[in-house]
Chains A and B, each alone.
Chain A
Amino acid sequence: MHSIEALEKQWKRYQIKKYFSFGMVSAALLGMVIAFSLLFDSESYSNSKELSKQKIQTAMIDRSKEQELQIPRVAKQNKNIEKETSSVETVVNNNIRADKPQNTTPILADNQPRKKVEVDLEQTPNMGLITDVILRFYESKDPNDSLFLATSYYEQNDYAKAFYWAIETNRITEDMEDSWIIMAKSKARMGDRNEALRILKAYVAKKDSKEASNLLERMEAKQW
């Protein structure tokens, strides 16, 4: 039975082959499931636009009272920030507040933005996903979710919405670089380059960000 050692080696090769095959099959199945679920989501979105719209409306209505309560609190927080942070940051916050009535922040002004958000979302191509993230954000207040929304809207050239969600992100944390950059870029895209520069300067003063510095330089040189 000197062949037992050889048989053991053969068995080890068989095990590797067996588990490799199993892994391949599992990966293929997982891929199929993901592809199918994405396809299903896309189809279900297109087939149920009205349903999604209603869903958002319902969610917005459900959230309205809560938001009404949040608005004064947020405004108060902004005032505190203005007092406690540097003058540059104050400029940024003031500008943000000043922009709200003009763009996407009527939430703070007159409780009207829900209607506007609803219409805009309906036009976006990934509405199903965005809606889910919006709803999730209202529950979790996760800055990653709001930053995702800001990025998504910016990529869809919806700069007002992008700016809105970047502000939402900054309200939760001011340490997310991408949020500041989207905020500045959105402002610039909307034609307010001076405000964009102020935002970038504020962030560069706060954090030594290479990306923000580069963007600031390019904006100042009118290369962006």
Chain B
Amino acid sequence: MKNRFKVAKSAFLDIVDTHEYIEIESANIAMRQLKNAMDKQFKIVLLFGKPGTGKSILLKNIFEQKKYQKEIYFLETPAGNQNEFLGHLSKVFMGEDVSADNTEINFLDLISYFKSIKGGQREIIFLLDEAQMYNMDILEKIRLLADTNNIKFIMALHQNKKEELLTQDHFSSRIWEKIELKNATKAEQATYIYKKLLNKNLFEIASNIQKRNLKLIHKYTKGNYRECNKLMFTIFEIYEYYDKHEFLKMTNINSILNKVIEMAGLKLGYIHA
């Protein structure tokens, strides 16, 4: 039988997997906002928030939901340079990425192509994750492409980059919607943790996590999903060890859970001895 703590640990692996997506109220609201925005005539939507607030999973989730309904493209990894980025776009209308052959892509041709698309014929949506990594040249290209009104961009980026973009009038005037993702509240984080465990059928472990434990977890992670994953992973890693090597210490899981949380907190540097 697979160690239950090993299973619990795997529930908190920090991977962007839509099958592992946990519906949290604030994320659901953001999802509805995104879907509404996609159905409207818009140019650019910014999805922003601090790292670990669930931007990538939300973007990927909406891609999975809409990929058979709309012409939607998800650029999970940011293009390293302008040519690479234009290569992704060329693939949309040429069916292949010509940048791989070191072919210089004519941006004006791309603009002409997108402009030539008659209204209603194609509705192209690009989802750009980690958009803060695009340089200003690429962002300028995105702005010009968005101006063709036939290509839309949903850009997930960090808070700081959003501030930088909004200071530029020519860019900010094209942003139709800004959706902010925040860290989870205590209640949301509790739901997140419980659902993660219940998805793996770990009812006993879930029921043993007390309010005081959740309070401590939230105190350390401040409701950040990525930090929460890290902490929970480490907690169950320690439990896995105890379960395997020092079984007696595991006889009362309730009494030592906060100790283990603190140990995990020490390991991850949330607290210091």
Q: A1-31 vs B: 1/0 string, CB under 8 Å?
A: 1011001101101100100000000000000
| Contact, CB under 8 Å: A14 / B271 | yes
Total CB contacts across the A-B interface at under 8 A: 29
| Contact, CB under 8 Å: A11 / B237 | no
A17 / chain B contacts, CB cutoff of 8 Å: 273
| Contact, CB under 8 Å: B267 / A7 | yes
| Contact, CB under 8 Å: A8 / B263 | yes
Does B166 count as interface, using CB distance less than 8 angstroms? no
How many of chain B's residues touch chain A, expressed as a range?
10 to 19
Q: A125-169 vs B: 1/0 string, CB under 8 Å?
A: 000000000000000000000000000000000000000000000
Return the contact of B273 from the options A3, A4, A14 (Cβ within 8 A). A14
| Contact, CB under 8 Å: B237 / A7 | no
Q: In the complex, which residue of chain B has the Cβ closest to the Cβ of A7?
A: B263
| Contact, CB under 8 Å: A11 / B262 | yes
Return the contact of A11 from the options B241, B242, B266 (Cβ within 8 A). B266
A8 / chain B contacts, CB cutoff of 8 Å: 263
CA distance A173 to B267 in the complex (A): 65
Give the distance to chain B from A78, nearest Cβ to Cβ, in Å.
Answer: 65
B241 / chain A contacts, CB cutoff of 8 Å: 1, 4
B238 / chain A contacts, CB cutoff of 8 Å: 1, 4, 7
Return the contact of A13 from the options B240, B242, B259, B273 (Cβ within 8 A). B273
Give the distance to chain A from B213, nearest Cβ to Cβ, in Å.
Answer: 16
CA distance A17 to B241 in the complex (A): 26
Known A-B contacts A7-B263, A7-B266, A8-B263; A14 and B237 likewise in contact (beta carbons under 8 Å): no
Does B272 count as interface, using CB distance less than 8 angstroms? yes
Task: Tell me the interface secondary structure of chain B in the complex.
Answer: helix
B272 / chain A contacts, CB cutoff of 8 Å: 14
CA distance A8 to B246 in the complex (A): 13
Q: In the complex, which residue of chain B has the Cβ closest to the Cβ of A3?
A: B267
A10 / chain B contacts, CB cutoff of 8 Å: 263, 266, 273
A1 / chain B contacts, CB cutoff of 8 Å: 237-238, 240-241
The A41-94 residues at the B interface (CB cut-off 8 A) are none
Q: In the complex, which residue of chain B has the Cβ closest to the Cβ of A12?
A: B273
CA distance A7 to B271 in the complex (A): 12
Q: B159-195 vs A: 1/0 string, CB under 8 Å?
A: 0000000000000000000000000000000000000
Q: B249-273 vs A: 1/0 string, CB under 8 Å?
A: 0000000000100110011000111
Q: In the complex, which residue of chain A has the Cβ closest to the Cβ of B267?
A: A7
Give the distance to chain A from B263, nearest Cβ to Cβ, in Å.
Answer: 5
Give the distance to chain B from A3, nearest Cβ to Cβ, in Å.
Answer: 8
CA distance A13 to B263 in the complex (A): 11
Give the distance to chain B from A20, nearest Cβ to Cβ, in Å.
Answer: 12
CA distance A4 to B242 in the complex (A): 9
CA distance A13 to B240 in the complex (A): 23
A7 / chain B contacts, CB cutoff of 8 Å: 238, 263, 266-267
CA distance A11 to B240 in the complex (A): 18
Q: In the complex, which residue of chain B has the Cβ closest to the Cβ of A17?
A: B273
CA distance A2 to B182 in the complex (A): 37
Give the distance to chain A from B219, nearest Cβ to Cβ, in Å.
Answer: 13
5 A-B pairs with C-beta separation under 8 A: A7-B263, A11-B262, A14-B271, A14-B272, A17-B273
* Extra A-B contacts (14), CB below 8 Å, given A11-B263, A14-B262, A14-B266: A1-B237, A1-B240, A1-B241, A3-B267, A4-B238, A7-B263, A7-B266, A8-B263, A11-B259, A11-B266, A11-B273, A14-B271, A14-B272, A17-B273
The 6 closest A-B CB pairs, nearest first, are A13-B273, A14-B273, A1-B241, A10-B273, A11-B263, A7-B263
